[in-house]
Amino acid sequence: VRGSKVVALDEQGDPLYEDIGPTPRFLALSRKYLRELSDPGKETSH
């Protein structure tokens, strides 16, 4: 989903807008759980 903020310009000078859809949240959660699963010494709450 296209946001209202221009975050960069492509090679032809066209604006690239921020992503306000579920992708940023998905990536953040993916990194979080990958870190937790990669650290075997860390205890989880479940």
For residue 46, being part of any structural domain is answered with: no
Grouping H, G, I as helix, E, B as strand and the rest as coil, residue 28 is helix
User: Does a structural domain hold residue 45?
Assistant: no
1-46 pLDDT, tens digit each: 678 899 999 999 999 998 888 888 899 999 999 999 998 776 656 6
**Number of domains comprising the chain:** 1
**Inside any domain, residue 18:** yes
How large is the C-alpha radius of gyration of the chain? 17
**CB-hemisphere CA count at 13 Å for 18?**
8
Is residue 38 in a domain? no
Q: According to the model, what pLDDT value does residue 23 have?
A: 85
Assess if residue 8 is contained within a domain: yes
> Got the DSSP string for the chain?
-EEEEEEEE-TTS-EEEEE-SSHHHHHHHHHHHHHHHH-TTSPP--
Query: What pLDDT score was predicted for residue 19?
Result: 82
State the residue range of the domain holding 26. Answer: 2-31
Amino acid letter for position 27: L
In a domain, 14, yes or no: yes
Residue 6 lies in a domain: yes
Distance CA 3, CA 17 (A): 6
